[in-house]
Each structure stands twice: as C-alpha cells, then as structure tokens.
A and B are shown apart, each in its own frame.
Chain A
C-alpha cells in the first residue's frame, strides 16, 4: 500500500493536521504541520485513535484498538492524549494484521441468516444481529448503513449489500 499522510485530529479545535506516514518504507519521518497556524498540537485523544486508524484504510476492531492502547479505563478514553510517536507503532501493528475481510468472507457470513437460501436476508434480522452481536452498533449507525438496502418486503440481497459496504 502506498504511504499516506496521517491526519491527526486535535482535541479542541478539530482541525485536521497533515503528517507523513512512511511506516511501510522508512522509519518515522518528520511530521509536516501547518507552520502558520498556532493551533497545531499533534495529539489526539484515545477515543479518536480507532477512527484515525480506520481513516488510514485499516479496520481494527474496537477490542484491538483498546488492546493497543494498553486497555485504558473508560474515563481515560476522553481525557488521555496520544502523540504521533506513540501512535505510529500502533499503526504499524494494525497494518500487519491479516484480518481483512474479503468479499467472500462477508457473503459466507451473511448466508448464515439466509433462511430460505434465496440470496436474501431479512433486514430486521440483520439489524438485530449488527446491534446485538460482536462489536455492537447503535441503532442510528445501523440505520445509516442500511439506508436504501431493504426492498418493499424488508429483504436485503446480501451480495449487493456486501458490495455496498465494501464500496465505501
């Protein structure tokens, strides 16, 4: 994968900062920040860590992120800060993970819910699964994911659904 710039979100001002990530090729390069703005702090909150990793194209589970952060307490997630030097090894670790899902993995997983074996699952059931199993999603998140996916009978063609998910 080509090296990309890391964007760190700051705790207060919420302005993106640009940093270089050449973890794959070199070792930690110098971060480039907007020299003019006095707002740059180059730190993110623990709670933002997962999102930043995902923004860079990886998809760790929440559990994995917590583990990398050293299993912090819940209240620490919003108060503790992380700087780039601590973040980089986490990124490198996640990047090495082989747990990326391929199209077939998804489809096979969803086929479990295909009671009639006709290529569709009940939207309601899928919502239930996503909200109660694994790393639960909120109702709101599920709604956003599934907008426009259910047909008039509340069925979802899961092959299409998976394509939709992966296209994001």
Chain B
C-alpha cells in the first residue's frame, strides 16, 4: 500500500533522526564528563601542591634554624630564642619525670561531666571514651596525663618494628592517615567494629594535625592500645613530630582545649611520639610503614636504632666537627634512654673531647651521676649513636659503620617518602624530606627482605587507596573529604592469613549534604581557586618582575602565552594556567583582555587582599607577611617557649630579625615598630600571636569557622575555643 511505504520512509527518517540525536547527546555528555574530570584533577592538584609546598617550607625553615644553631655564637640573642627546641627534654631521670608529669594533684571538679578513668583501663572505659567523644565531651587533663603516662610505659616496651601474625584466622584491619578527623574513625568503628581480641587493628601514622579532633583520636587509639596490647598496633607518621605539630595545628588544638595543662600534655606527647614504633611486618611478608622506602632502607638497621632519640625527623644530627666545637650542655638528659652518646666526656677539671662513642649497656643513671657532678662544663647532648656493640668497645672505630646521620636518614625515608612511576630513587624535593622511589627499588627491597607487599599511607588518594608498582605497593588513606567536602573517600584494608588485601571505602557523610555532583565539584573548585588567587597575590613582586621581563615595550600587558609561562616560572605549581585563566583573571582585567593579552597591573588590583588596619604598613612588607604567614606563625610559636600564646615585645623584635635573615630581606627597626604598635593594643609589652595573625588578615576568620581545617598551609584554625570549662 502506498501509505505503508511512506509510513516506512517516515519511520526510517525518524529512526535516523533519533540515532543522530542520541549520538549528539552522548557526545556532549562525554565531553561534559571529561571536562569535569579535568577540572577535578587540577583542583586536586592545587590542593596537593600547596599542601606539599607547605611541608617543604617547613623543612626549609628547620634547616635554616639548624644552620643558625650551628653557626651563631652561644651568646647571640637569635640563638637563645630558638635553642630550646633543639635541646632535648629538660626532664631527666624517671623520678623527676614522673614528678613533672604528675597528675595526682590535679583535681577533677564535681562539675566535670566528661568520662572518668580508672587504671588499669578496661574495654568498657575505652568504648565509653569513644561514646563520650561522639557526644562532644572532652576528657579531663588529669585523665589525659594519666593515660599518656601509661601509654608511654607501654610503648617503651615495644620494638622498632612490630612483628605480627594473622594466625588463628584473624583478619587484621589497617587504617591510614586520620589527621584529627574523628568522624572518620567513628565511621570505621561503626562499619568494622572496635578493636578487640578478635579484631586486631593497625594504625599507620598521621593521627594528628589539620583536623580538629587530633587529641581525641590519640586518646582513643592509646586507650585501645592499653586494653589490647597484643591486638592494637601503631606506626609513627611524619606528623607524630612536635615540630611539624607547631605548624599544622595540633599544638594549637591542645593548647586551646587544655588551657591549664596543655603544655605538659604536649611535652609528654613529644616523648610518646618518639617512642612510637617505626614499622610493622605482618606474617613476615607484608611491610606496613607510613611514608615509604628508599634504595638504602635496611630493616635490620632500623630494628637496631634508638628510635626515641629521634624526637623530630626534622632535626638532623649535627655534623661531627661541629659537635666537637660545642661548648654547652644540658645537665639534664632524656630519661630511660640507655644508649645515649655524649659529645664530651664530662670531667671535673678540664674539658676532654669525647670520641663519638657508644656507651651501651651503661644506663643513663651512670652518666647523669657523673654529669651532675660536673657543672663546670656544658656539653650538648644529641641524638644517639647506638649499635649493637658491647661496652668494651669504647672506641670510635666500631661505631663508624652506622653514623647517626645514616640512621636519621633511614627514619626520614621511612616516614616521608613517596612512590613514583619511574625507576630509580631521587630526593623528594616537593616535600623536602625522604625520597621518591621507583618500582625497581620496590622490587629489590622486597626481594632482599623476602617480602611481598608494602602498605603505606602519607598521600591522599581520591578513592582512599591506590595500588602502584605492579600492585606491590598499596597507598591507604583514611581521612575522607580531606581537601574539601567531597574531595575524596577514605579506605581501610583487611588482611587475612591469605594476605590478600580487601579494601573498604567510605566517606564521612555528615560533611556532605545532598550536594549534586555539579555542586560539590563546583564548591571544591571555588575553594581551590580562592586559595590559588591568594597565593598569586602573595607572590606579587616576583610575578610583576617576571612580567616586566616579557613586556619589553613596557605597555603593562603581556600575551596569554607569556602570562602563563611567567606565572609558572614563579609559582612552580605545574598547573594548566591557560585553561584556568578564566577563573583567575576576572573583573576588569578580564574585560580589558583584548586580543588575549592581559593587563597585569590591573590583574593585581583584582587579586589584592585588602589589609584591615594595615595602610600605614609598607606594601612589600605586607606581601612578605602574607606569603610567609605560616612560617611566621611557626616561628612565633617556637619563640613562645611557655606556649602561652603571647610573646614579649623584645622577642617580637628578635623574631623579625630572624625572619629578615631567613628571607634575606631588609626589615627596618621602624617597620618593626609599626607592626608592633598595630597589634599591641593594650600597650602592655606583650603580643598575642593570634591577634597578630588576624590583624593583618593573615588568617581568614570566616573560613576558620566553616571547616575544621584551613587550607592555608594546614593550620587547624577552627578551634571553637572552649569557653565552658576552665578547669579542664
């Protein structure tokens, strides 16, 4: 029939259109997805670069301070300002130690509504603590100190490398970085049950910093460690380090939550961190460490070091000749360390140079007795040089094989390294410590030690975990939404006797409301862009300099290509600047971009961060302040020896002098006075660190309250200060 034919034609025409239409939509959808993925990646990259460059800045700072220590005379002011952080704990023997950290005279007031602890700890109490923290309670400082003391005693018994086995069909659960994110720990316990005799756990470091509940996480982990010493294992991470904590928020958190006793808690924690085991081996086949390995990592060396001598991985042992040039000593030494090396043999009459010896098997008691009698001279005590040598070998030769620098490097590599795709092993310049190690190094290491898998953490991964090096290395990260809401999932791994990793992912949902995919991606992007714009502004002078070089005719404009290359040459972030141009160059400077050139002066006007009451301060000084605010804050906190949050005017000046040397820039006395005047509003000669940082808009008050973490170099600035209980 005629109609049939035409109908069939119509049908085919329609079908053809339908297909064409479908293909069109499909293509556009795929493009949308691809572009979104690209934007997600560079947003991630922004967060990660800034995180790592913060770590790098941290290490640079400490290298600088170390340099100061080595090269300034003992009498110099600058040195005195900071020498205390290079000095070991002032408390010496066990008796004094216990007295200093005594909790017994701390009273718990009746009004206190948090949990009460009795020792020895029971599982009910540990579980009770988890509940209490879930309900936002805080543990009283008396119990905190008591808990920490017990924990310290326990940790001292542990070897450098835990060796555990999954016998009796026990599956062990391994968790990565938690970074003070209590929600994630609670989620893990909810999904996987709490630690028990049937449920062993291993926590792979970085329990603290950045998140706002670091101390609560520690309390929970330590409690379970005490209750189940054979089922709960802890590895040290690079953030279990009091110097890193100064910068990344843990110090601040503790001082804020524990006004009265925070300092003591921190000091005790310093010790505890150094006593955390460095690694764990499961069934002699799986190595679990926080950072990674290098081509020189040797487990037998690591098994033998005195790990507690390495308070901070950022303090390298001093060079030999410099040590011998040293003149000062603390008469106090670290308690409990049996293999301490002293630089100089103490003498009653005249100084005699100590050879670099190992005084193993002699208890520190022996030395402290002798030293106590020698107040004439001062010798600086440094990280030890142990080794399995007998007491007869009091000669330097036998110790030469393992220098303390080698040991330090072994530990640094273990805690700071990252894997890379290429073969080889190169220094990790991005973080400033440890290495990048390649698949060949993994292969070699596993063979040498007869292992089959390395599980490590240290790097945030979008899915919470990632395999690399031919599935021989597993990265595990347990802090979900780390960079921002929706940025990544967390994961934990379960390992049974078959040693096949079974991964479980999650994402703390209280942080994610019902955001559509577009919304949450957009939010992260906006957040990252904001951070990036501030970074750009902080480097204004260098950028203008770079632009001028390319703007030969001095028109105040550069082409897009030149803009991108100049920005990269200054910022070194490896970002796709051209693609991001539309987000970074906005407002009037975008309008005036004719023929794709950019008016860079106008651009900086757009980016400018207006200081509140800072108009009388020199612009370039302001920029310096902004760029180095994290370093500045860290230095302040070092200078603030009693951790009170205040420093004296005089120390303030000294700090600036220090900073000017570090930054190699001129800061005049007048400029410093101007600064001081601005913030010492009550004229009492002391400066409140927090106020200072806020006065110059160096911390963004608004974002502080939004999240538990500031993106600015990771200071955990969301500390809703506990107004309630002054007695805690």
Contacts and interface: CB of A to CB of B under 8 A. Distances in A.
Contact of A106 (B18, B25, B436): B25
Interface residues of A, number: 60
A12 B32 CA distance: 23
A52 B31 CA distance: 9
Nearest to A6: B576
Given A37-B430, A54-B30, A61-B27, A16 B596 contact: no
Q: Which of B28, B420, B575 has the most CB of A within 10 A?
A: B28
Given A39-B420, A39-B421, A166 B28 contact: yes
B20 interface: yes
Contacts of B596: 2
Contacts of B429: 36
Contact of B27 (A22, A59, A133): A59
Contacts of A57: 31, 35
A67 to B, nearest CB: 15
B21 A109 contact: yes
Contacts of B568: 18, 32
A110 B20 CA distance: 10
Contacts of A36: 429-430, 572, 574
A51 interface: yes
A152 interface: no
Contact of B575 (A18, A62, A148): A18
A40 B576 CA distance: 14
Nearest to A33: B574
Interface string A32-61: 111011110100000000111111011111
Interface stretch (B145-153, B490-498, B557-565, B646-654): B557-565
A39 B422 contact: yes
A133 B18 contact: yes
Say which size band chain B's interface belongs to.
35 or more
Given A36-B572, A61-B23, A16 B45 contact: yes
A43 to B, nearest CB: 11
Given A12-B421, A20-B561, A129 B45 contact: no
Interface in A59-97: 59-62
B30 A112 contact: no
Contact of B26 (A2, A16, A37, A130): A130
Contacts of A148: 516
Interface in B402-424: 420-422, 424
B594 interface: no
B468 interface: yes
B24 interface: yes
Given A18-B577, A144-B517, A54 B21 contact: no
B526 interface: no
Interface in B537-596: 560-561, 564-565, 568, 572-579, 596
A38 B422 contact: yes
A50 B37 CA distance: 13
Contact of B30 (A32, A39, A50): A50
A155 interface: no
B84 interface: no
B106 interface: no
Contact of B25 (A54, A55, A165): A165
Q: Which of B21, B568, B574 has the most CB of A within 10 A?
A: B21
Contacts of A112: 14, 17-18, 21
A165 B32 contact: yes
A2 B560 contact: yes
A32 B424 CA distance: 23
B355 to A, nearest CB: 40
Interface in A98-118: 101, 105-106, 108-110, 112-113
Contacts, number: 162
A133 B42 contact: no
A152 B24 CA distance: 26
A7 B36 CA distance: 13
Given A5-B578, A16-B576, A133 B19 contact: yes
A129 B575 contact: no
A55 B26 contact: no
B38 interface: yes
A53 to B, nearest CB: 8
B373 interface: no
Nearest to B565: A32
Contact of A16 (B42, B424, B578): B42
Contacts of A52: 34
B561 A135 contact: no
A130 B574 contact: no
Given A7-B42, A20-B561, A135 B516 contact: no
A129 B578 CA distance: 37
A57 B20 CA distance: 20
A76 B721 CA distance: 58
B31 A133 contact: no
B503 interface: no
B15 to A, nearest CB: 9
Q: Which of B34, B41, B575 has the most CB of A within 10 A?
A: B34
Contacts of A61: 23, 26-27
Nearest to B21: A109
A17 to B, nearest CB: 7
Interface in B1-16: 14
Contacts of B72: none
B22 A130 contact: yes
A8 B27 CA distance: 20
Contact of A147 (B25, B27, B517): B517
Given A101-B28, A112-B14, A168-B36, 10 more contacts: A7-B38, A12-B468, A18-B576, A22-B561, A39-B421, A61-B26, A109-B20, A112-B21, A134-B19, A135-B27
27 contacts: A5-B578, A11-B421, A12-B421, A12-B468, A13-B421, A13-B468, A15-B45, A18-B575, A32-B565, A39-B420, A39-B422, A51-B34, A53-B34, A54-B33, A54-B35, A101-B24, A106-B25, A109-B25, A129-B18, A129-B21, A133-B18, A137-B26, A141-B33, A145-B25, A165-B28, A165-B29, A168-B31
The 6 A-B residue pairs with the shortest CB-CB distance, nearest first, are: A109-B21, A34-B574, A168-B32, A54-B34, A134-B23, A134-B22
Interface of A: 2-5, 7, 9-18, 20, 22, 32-34, 36-39, 41, 50-55, 57-62, 101, 105-106, 108-110, 112-113, 129-130, 133-137, 141, 144-145, 147-148, 165-166, 168
